[in-house]
């Protein structure tokens, strides 16, 4: 974060463009939430977990086995996914089953894929 905005000789953008940008720009809190959400998707382990859950709900141990990571690592990441409401869970005895929270996850990942294959 800086507090000094640089000024080049003159502003190229018209005043109404600048006003339009300021109108469209979400407020700081929303921007932070947005960035936070994308950060969650910005990790291979978490993406793998989500892809695994595409197929069906799964317990922590199965997820760990499928994506070849330790139970601890998976559990830590599930906490983050949970906190961002990308997965939900239900307990059944000693086992905790995780599932995708909603279809947003699929469509977000799908759109990302679209961009990189282009």
Partner DNA sequence: ATAATATATGAACAAGTATTCATATATTGA
Partner DNA sequence: TCAATATATGAATACTTGTTCATATATTAT
Binding positions for its own copies, rule: CB under 8 A: 1-8, 11-13, 17-18, 20-22, 24-26, 28, 30-44, 47-48, 51-52, 54-56, 58-59, 61-62, 64-66, 68-71, 73, 95, 97, 102, 104, 107-109, 111-116, 118
Tell whether residue 42 is a contact of DNA (CB under 7 A).
yes
Tell whether residue 14 is a contact of DNA (CB under 7 A).
no
CA distance 57 to 88: 9
Tell whether residue 78 is a contact of DNA (CB under 7 A).
yes
CA angle 6, 15, 3 (to 5 degrees): 25
77 closest CA partner among 92, 87, 91 = 87
Whichever of 20 and 73 has its CB closer to DNA, that residue is: 73
Point out which residues pair with 70 in neighbouring strands: none
62-71 burial code (b ≥16 CB/10 A, e <16): bbbeebebee
Tell whether residue 90 is a contact of DNA (CB under 7 A).
no
What angle do the packed helices 104-117 and 44-55 form, to 10 degrees?
Answer: 120
78 binds, among its own copies, DNA, none (CB under 5 to 8 A by kind): DNA
Residues found near DNA in the complex (CB under 7 A)? 1-2, 8-10, 39, 42-45, 59-61, 69-73, 75-80, 89, 91, 93-96
């Amino acid at each position: 974060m800086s507090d000094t905005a640089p000024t080049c000789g003159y502003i190229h953008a018209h005043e109404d463009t600048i006003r339009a940008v300021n109108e469209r720009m979400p407020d700081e809190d929303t921007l932070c939430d947005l960035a936070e959400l994308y950060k969650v998707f910005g990790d291979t382990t978490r993406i793998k977990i989500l892809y695994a859950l595409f197929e069906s709900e799964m317990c922590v141990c199965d997820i760990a086995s499928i994506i070849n990571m330790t139970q601890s690592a998976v559990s830590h990441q599930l906490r983050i996914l949970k906190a961002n409401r990308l997965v939900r869970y239900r307990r059944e005895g000693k086992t905790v089953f995780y599932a995708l929270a909603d279809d947003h996850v699929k469509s977000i990942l799908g759109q990302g894929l679209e961009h990189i294959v282009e």
